[in-house]
Amino acid sequence: MTIQVSPVMETQGLSVASQRDAYWRRLLALGQSHPAPLSRLEPLRQQAATCFHATQFPTTRDEEWRFTDLSELLALDLAPSLVQSGVSLPTAAELAFYELPEATCARLVFVNGQFAPTLSAVAEMPPGVYVGSLAAAPEAIYTHLGQLPGRDEGFTALNTAGFSDAAVIYLPKNQVLDAPIQVLFVTTGEASALVQPRCVVVAEANSALTLVEDYSALGRTAHLVNAVTEIWLGENAQVNHTRIQAEADTTFHVGKTAIAQARTSRYIGHSIHCGGHLSRHHWEIYQTGEQTETVLNGLTYLRGHQTGDTHSAIALTQPHGQTRQLHKTIVDDRAHAIFNGKVFVPRAAQMTDAGQLNRNLLLSSKARIDTKPQLEIVADNVKCTHGAAIGQLEADEIFYLQSRGIDAASARQLLIYAFAYEILREIPVPSLQQRLLMQLNIAR
């Protein structure tokens, strides 16, 4: 990918550090270039802006960004969100590829961070259930919006200080939605833009839902997509959440998914990343009650010169918590994958059962993987494991398949398919499984 350096940045004559600081401040100005659509959002936005000013542009000197170099982002001359500039909406035909037949409950479409009601469809909901944009969201949403720990992190604060709309899903107590909800975030336009999608999910006690959060791009313009999703699970609530990032290979994508889990709740997350020039997704899970269960499944497939960074932090604060994480990466050409998974088990979290595994497949001698699974344990009565493995396709396995009449290229493809399908088969939407196999180009 070739990025044209902004003439402004070339002529300023600033040091590299000063350029970073100036660009960081400019991102905030771009995010706040339009007023808050709802007056009640203004205090939250201003508080986030104050937090943002206390942060700095991330560099490889920061431990959390040690393997992810954002210097290319400094060359991207960004504009405000394109919807405010009058860019036309995509057509239904252009979005047909992303439509999920199973999502009969609701399909919300956001274009450059703004709700597109003409492209969305919401069926009649049970009493008290709300699925839509922030404009008509119930009062309970505002007691949760922007309140999760980690809100002071730089990119998260940037989103809160500048987001203008949000996908909102609210389930009151004892409500179960059988059909999945799809939220599609699309970026469009010919000028590079800062786009800040937001999603808020509140599932109260004994409620359950399936959510598909989908990030795609129409065209190959180099945007910066800074996305934040907040999910609150009440006591005994269940959320099955699939997040897909399949944007253009020119996009810079930074995403945060923060989850708070009350007692006996269950969160199952699937994260599929195959797009973007440089992408980063950070899962933050806070188990705030006893007997809480968290399952994280991830798949990253990178080619060309892509960089894909997956971070996760799971904080178990109460006894009898369970967590399982399996993240797989497939890296080809000169691509670079990063995995950093953390599990925190303080003294109060006795009887914790935690497992974390990162498995990586290198398809090229020039591909690169940096992996760092971490367990930080203070409690003394726990069952915790972690591990990482990096390997290549086994010549013996390819030879075995060839001996059964399968050509070498098909044998290679079949092994890649088997490696990836362990993650894809857990996605509870069959049509989405098939679509992802097509997008990843690993269908049998």
What are the boundaries of each domain within the chain?
Answer: 16-289, 399-444
pLDDT above 50 for 108: yes
For residue 330, the SS3 value is strand
Q: How confident is the model at residue 197 (pLDDT cuts 50, 70, 90)?
A: very high
pLDDT above 80 for 361: yes
What pLDDT score was predicted for residue 84?
45
pLDDT above 90 for 7: no
pLDDT above 80 for 11: no
* Residue 254 near residue 225, CB atoms below 8 Å: yes
Give CA–CA dist 157/258, Å, rounded: 13
- State pTM to two decimals: 0.94
What pLDDT score was predicted for residue 13?
60
pLDDT above 60 for 10: no
pLDDT above 80 for 86: no
Give CA–CA dist 221/250, Å, rounded: 6
pLDDT above 70 for 392: yes
Task: List CB contacts of 405: < 8 A, sequence separation 6 or more.
Answer: none
Task: List CB contacts of 118: < 8 A, sequence separation 6 or more.
Answer: 89
Q: How confident is the model at residue 201 (pLDDT cuts 50, 70, 90)?
A: very high
Structure tokens at 302: 């990178």
Task: For residue range 218-277, list pLDDT tens digits in order.
Answer: 988 999 999 999 999 999 999 999 999 999 999 999 999 999 999 999 999 999 999 999
Helix (H) or strand (E) holding 140: helix 139-142
Percent of the chain topping pLDDT 70: 95
What pLDDT score was predicted for residue 444?
60
pLDDT above 90 for 9: no
Q: How confident is the model at residue 39 (pLDDT cuts 50, 70, 90)?
A: confident
Q: Choose among 262, 174, 251, 171: nearest CA to 211.
A: 171
Give CA–CA dist 328/339, Å, rounded: 9
For the segment 124-151, the average pLDDT, to the nearest whole number, is 94
What integer best gives the mean pLDDT of the chain?
A: 93
Task: For residue range 60-70, list pLDDT tens digits in order.
Answer: 999 999 999 99
What pLDDT score was predicted for residue 33?
85
pLDDT above 90 for 5: no
